[in-house]
Structure 1
Amino acid sequence: MTVAPRKATNLAKEGGPRRFVFLLLDRFTMISFAGAIEPLRIANRVAGRELYAWRLAGEGGQEAVCSNGAAFRLDMGLDEIERDDTVFVCGGIDVARATTKAVTGWLRREARRGAVMGGLCTGSYALARAGLLDGRKATIHWENQDGFLEEFEEVKLTKSVFVIDGNRISTAGGTSSIDLMLKIIAADHGEDLANTVADQLVYNAIRTDQDTQRLSIPTRIGVRHPKLSQVIQMMERNIEDPISPADLAEDVGMSTRQLERLFRRYLNRSPKRYYMELRLQKARNLLMQTDMSVINVALACGFASPSHFSKCYRSHYNTTPYRERGTQGAVPGLGTRLAV
């Protein structure tokens, strides 16, 4: 299927529409892209004039295919843009492979010329690869955070829905693009217009950059027990250096036996088993999203030896870490797993 989105009209420099360039990487996610471009279209319609204009760009300048197979006709290749344009890199699956030298070179060049740079979903990876997020706050889809943290230590990664740090912007993917664009519309033309656009989108729970992208622990696990939530939060924050069940229990003011009963009652597993599953889940993320060695993955997830790590991994996933890495191809790449 080929979809030809609306093409921007005259891009006036003074008093004209604010201009956006959407850089569509190969296998970008449609929901993040649509969540960014549709509020702009609706704002124009509601205002009765062209407040915003946009172009679709991509390497080769012909066509970009998103992760669901839909193809979009591009307006331009990696050409020079206006200095006051805002660039949004639309990322998705296998973003490391899609972030080519030509893409990073174009991003650096346009950033030097003064363009505002943003990343939607895993598009933040492309910005970081180009060195445009060093020393900046940023966000990326929660599933890709482990790999991102390992590769880009200079970036101040947050778990926010979206982040605006000066002339650098990033979103967590999914519907977070809508929240970002409503923020931009409100800043440009007032809250009333932004709220009208939200109503048109039937979007009645607008989030800010203070909101986090994942559900709270009680909502996520379906259990509203404060001490259980507290223990799980401690586990999630201490993957590399696991805390013993006895210490976890002491920290929340209960005995180890009480903690065991709590986990059995609500999660049907022991605290030790739940903790192990968290660590193995992070290990799988790192194997699939980075080129870290299996030994370093093991250490990053609290395993003292590769052999113990391999044994636990095989028991849980029915394959070894080495085979898991092999199934991802020559370039594992951030975003090999689903990024919405």
Structure 2
Amino acid sequence: MSFANLSHLAQEQPLRVLLVNAGEADTLTWAGLAQPLRLAARVRPQQLVLDVCTPQQLLDGPHHSLPNHSWHIALLVADETQAPLPQQQIRAVIERCRGAQFWGGVGAGVLWLAQAGLMGGVRIALPWNLYGDAEDIDARAILAPNLFEIDGPHLSCCGGGASADFALTLVEALYGANVQAEIKEALCIDKVRGPEERQRVALQARFGALQPKLSEAVTLMEANIEEPLSTDDIAGLVGLSRRQLERLFKQYLGSLPSRYYLELRLQRAKQLLLETNHSIVQVGLMCGFSSGSHFSTAFGALFGNTPREERQRKLTG
């Protein structure tokens, strides 16, 4: 599901967003999320109301009397190092957040929602270093490696520096590129990473202890971008059957190996288009596409624009 699906919320007058800070106020996870949204509320004061509170304030303070459906977007936020809230409190906070049209978590908040059994079958962007804590998830969530995700009404972000990218993507989806550009300028942010970008951490650290075969398979993919291997080849090299490999990818990455591999190659192509002067044809070949039309079609399906339009962004950016 695309963040463009949030755009209808911009018609709400005002749009009401709830941020529940269950951690420290000075963490990057919190500041990266809250600051862009605070600026958006200043730029669009009639259109956006931002409610910020702690869990205790949500349950007992000035926000406790508001009905759950008062908020269109509600997010439970905590840095990945934050200790969990008391069970009774966290259940009450989550119940309130779930009344919003779109709801979810940022940082450790994502893990707490999953542990509450509310993310079964949902793609979630969990901080990679909390993967070891995800084994006790009651209803199996799909651990997507992306910086942030939207799946139905569920929003999730891995936190840290990605919180700012997530917040600015929300701003663009709701109020357009011009408002986003104004906030980027105010915060001295040059580039916003998109939802399709992955957490930049070694695969071994992310999956190694949990699923070494999965880590090995993705490493093989990353090492063979120009001449892609077949799914059967990868399965054989890591010592699994094709079906076993597909089951691992589906469970932990929410994708088939072939699809995941294609997205890796397209991510690399996008990077080359923006960071090098190789021709579009050369970029396609370097990323395993022998047909220019196949490259353009696949690129457009993932990113929403053509390789030529992506290159134009570099020239005019």
CA distance in 2 between counterparts of 1:241 and 1:14 reads 44
Say whether 1:199 aligns with 2:196.
no
Maintained 8 Å contact 2:115/2:136:
no
Number of equivalenced pairs = 207
Match of 1:89 in 2: 76
Match of 1:23 in 2: 20
Maintained 8 Å contact 2:17/2:50:
yes
Which structure 2 residues correspond to residues 23-172 of structure 1 after superposition, within 5 A?
23-27=20-24, 30-47=27-44, 49-61=45-57, 75-77=62-64, 80-92=67-79, 95=82, 97-108=84-95, 110-111=97-98, 113-151=99-137, 154-172=140-158
Alpha carbons of 1:104 and 1:129: their partners in 2 closer, same or farther (altered >3 Å)? Answer: farther
Which structure 2 residues correspond to residues 195-234 of structure 1 after superposition, within 5 A?
195-215=181-201
Alpha carbons of 1:29 and 1:147: their partners in 2 closer, same or farther (altered >3 Å)? Answer: farther
CA distance in 1 between counterparts of 2:11 and 2:49 reads 13
Instruction: Give the aligned residue type for 1:147.
Output: D
Structure 1 unaligned regions, length at least 5: 1-12, 64-73, 218-232, 244-250, 253-340
1:82-140 deviations in Å (ceiling 9; x for gaps): 354311101236655315223214423552x4542121111101211222211100012
Alpha carbons of 1:99 and 1:32: their partners in 2 closer, same or farther (altered >3 Å)? Answer: farther
Shift of 1:80: 3.5
Measured on the aligned residues, the alpha-carbon RMSD in Å equals 3.6
Shift of 1:79: 6.0
Instruction: Give the aligned residue type for 2:46.
Output: E
Q: TM-score, normalised by structure 2?
A: 0.55
CA distance in 1 between counterparts of 2:34 and 2:211 reads 43
CA distance in 2 between counterparts of 1:94 and 1:30 reads 10
Larger-Rg structure: 1
CA distance in 2 between counterparts of 1:151 and 1:203 reads 35
Where relative contact order (Cα < 8 A, 6+ residues apart) is larger, the structure is 1
Q: TM-score, normalised by structure 1?
A: 0.52
Q: Which protein is richer in helix relative to its size?
A: 2
Identity %: 20
CA distance in 2 between counterparts of 1:129 and 1:78 reads 27
Stretch deviating more after TM superposition (167-176 or 83-92):
83-92
